[in-house]
Amino acid sequence: MDIYQIICIILGVIVVLQFIVFLFINNKYSKTLRGLKTREVDDVTTKNGVRYTIDQTVVDEDGNTNISLSQKDIILNPNDTQIVGIKNKVKPGKYTLLATNKEEKTFNVRIGNYVKEYSHNQDVVLGEGQEITAINTSVILR
């Protein structure tokens, strides 16, 4: 064998190893992506920039808080004001407020100029231009 054949064999082995690594990584990430799609909330549609939802079950059979985060949920961090708008993160429409901590049944949220105590799984309607801020803990908008 001359040097050219040895180089071709080495390159062939490298290409086969790269292909095996590609298949392994592709298999791993495709399982992850399939898992994310199954967690996506159903019955959420956006029409003309307004988000419409059908209320989801967020309390289990025993009445305990059932916290789950899905792709279309919005997390409000404490003292981080979000302005409701068609081009913004929070769109106008009906939302369900969910606690991010199972021990907290109530939390404070400022909508507009007023702070009010809300409970887990309480609905709120947000209009264009309103401001919403979670006060004492993170809150999920679904």
pLDDT at 51: 56
Contact 115, 135 (CB under 8 A): yes
pLDDT at 68: 59
Widest CA span in the chain = 84
**For the chain, which ranges sit under pLDDT 70?**
31-45, 47, 49-71
**Residues 34-75: pLDDT tens digits?**
655 554 555 666 767 655 555 455 655 566 655 656 667 888
Instruction: Give whole-number Cα distances, 89 to 3, 16, 21, 53, 136, in Å.
Output: 61, 45, 38, 16, 21
Parse the chain into domains and list their residue ranges. Answer: 1-39, 44-141
